[in-house]
Amino acid sequence: MADLVAFVYMGGEEYKWVFFEVYDRVKSYLRDIDLPVIPVYGGHIKLPPGTLVQVRTENGIVKMYSFEAVVEALYGRLVEMRNDVNDESITKIFGLTTYPIGSRKEYFDIYKKYLGLQVSIANYHVLALSIKPFHTENRELFVERVFKGVLHELGHLYGLSHCKNDCVMNPPSDLKDWDLRAPTFCSNCLRELKERFKPKLQL
C-alpha cells in the first residue's frame, strides 16, 4: 500500500513555479525508483505578515517565518485534508516555504536557522523546507537544489541517516558542495528505503 505525503506551498507568488517544478520532479522520481510514496497536492497557504520574524545576524537583519507558525499552519492543513476526504491514511505533510524558517528564544538575541525541519505530533509528521536559501539565477540549478533538499528530508522521514556516498543524504558543507551532489539516493540508501516498505512477516 502506498504512503501519501501532502505537499503544500507556503508564502508569496515569487517561488510558486519552483514548487510545482520540484513537486512534479519528486513525484516522477519516486515513481521511477519504484518507491511506494505518492505526493499529493495540498494547496497554497498564504501566511499572514505577522508570522514573519526579523532576526539580527552577522549579515544584518534577516526575515524568517516563525518556526511555530509554519508548524501550526501545516498541522492545521493536514487535519483539514484528512477531514475533507475522510481519509485517515494521510498522516504526513511537507511545506515548501518562500522565506527561511527560524526560531528566536524569548528574551535572548539568538536564533536557529532551518533549511529543513521535521516535527512529529502524535501520529502526524510535519516537514518543511525553505526555498530561498537555494536561490540562484540558474533556473535549472535552482530547481535541482530544492529537489535534492526535498529528497534529503523525505529520506530522514523514512528512517535514513546521513550518508558518506555521492547521495542526497550526504549533507553538504556549502551550496557549492551541494551542487556537486548527485540528485538521487545512492544504491545503499535506496536499498535501505525499500527494505522499510517490505511487508513484515507475521509469526
Retrieve residue 150's grid coordinates. Answer: 526535498
In angstroms and rounded to an integer, the radius of gyration of the C-alpha atoms of the chain is 17
Contact (CB, 8 A) for 84 and 40: no
Which candidate in 68, 153, 192, 195 is catalytic?
153
Active site residue 80: no
Kindly list the catalytic residues: 153
